[in-house]
Amino acid sequence: MAREIELKIRLNDPLEFQNRLRTLAVAEGPYSKHDTYYLGSSGSFRLRESNGHYTICRKEKTLNDGIEVSREIEFGIDDPKAFGDFAQSLGFRLWYVKNKKGQAWRWGPVLIEVGTVSQLGWFAEFELLLPDESDEIRVDQARQKLFAALESLNVGPDQIEHQTYAQLLQRRLPPPVSVQFEFP
C-alpha cells in the first residue's frame, strides 16, 4: 500500500502551461491510461491498462481543499478477463470509463501529468507518493510541496479543481448498469 497526495487543475491553455513546464521541469515522456471503474456494494476499484500492463487499484480517498489523499492497494494482473469474471461473480458492475493521455513531467519529487481526460478536457495532475505508514506531518509536507510546485508554475490555488474525476463524470454519464466485463 501507498499514500498518494494529489491535486489537479483544469487547463484552459495547455500549450502555454507546458511552455512554463519546459523551463522548470524535466520531461519524462508520454503516457496513456485506459481506466475502467467498477462499483459494488463494498466499494469500487479501477482496472488500468497502460503500455500493455494491467493493474487493479482500490483507493480509500479523502478530498480536502482540492487535495486528494488516498491510501492505495494496487497490484498487477496477467489475465484481465479472468479477473473481470471473478469481480463480476462478487457483484461488481461497470461504473465508468476514463481515458487519459498526455505528457509526464518531474518538478523535483513532484510528478506532473498534463493531458486530456476523456469527456472532460485538459488537466494537469500534481502527485507525490508516500509510504503507507507516513504520518500526518509527512502528508502535510507533501501538500506543501504540491503548493510550491503550483506557485513556481504561476498557478494560483483558486485554479485547483475541487472535484474528483468521478464527480465530474457523473454529471455526464448515465447511472451504473449491470453489464458483462469487457477488456481491451
Contact 48, 37 (CB under 8 A): no
103 vs 19: CA distance, rounded Å? 12
> Model confidence at 178, in pLDDT bands (50, 70, 90)?
very low
Residue-wise pLDDT for 40-84, tens only, equals: 999 999 999 999 999 999 999 888 888 899 999 999 999 999 998
Task: Check whether 167 has a pLDDT greater than 60.
Answer: yes
pLDDT value at position 173?
Answer: 59
Task: Copy the grid coordinates of residue 29.
Answer: 515522456
Q: How far is CA 161 from the centre of its chain?
A: 13
Question: Which helix or strand (DSSP H or E) is residue 32 part of?
Answer: strand 26-40
Residue-wise pLDDT for 110-160, tens only, equals: 999 999 999 999 999 999 999 989 999 999 999 999 999 999 999 988 899
Residue type, 32: S
Pairing of strands 121-131, 2-10: antiparallel
DSSP codes, 97-141: EEEEEEEEEEETTEEEEEEEETTTEEEEEEEEEEETT--HHHHHH
pLDDT value at position 170?
Answer: 80
* Bridge partners, residue 35, by sequence: 48, 98
Contact 63, 48 (CB under 8 A): no
> Model confidence at 177, in pLDDT bands (50, 70, 90)?
very low
| Dihedral Cα 137, 134, 103, 155, nearest 10 deg | -10
Calculate mean pLDDT across residues 19-45. Answer: 95
pLDDT value at position 63?
Answer: 85
Domains of the chain: 2-170 (2.40.320.10)
DSSP state of 171: T
> Model confidence at 179, in pLDDT bands (50, 70, 90)?
very low
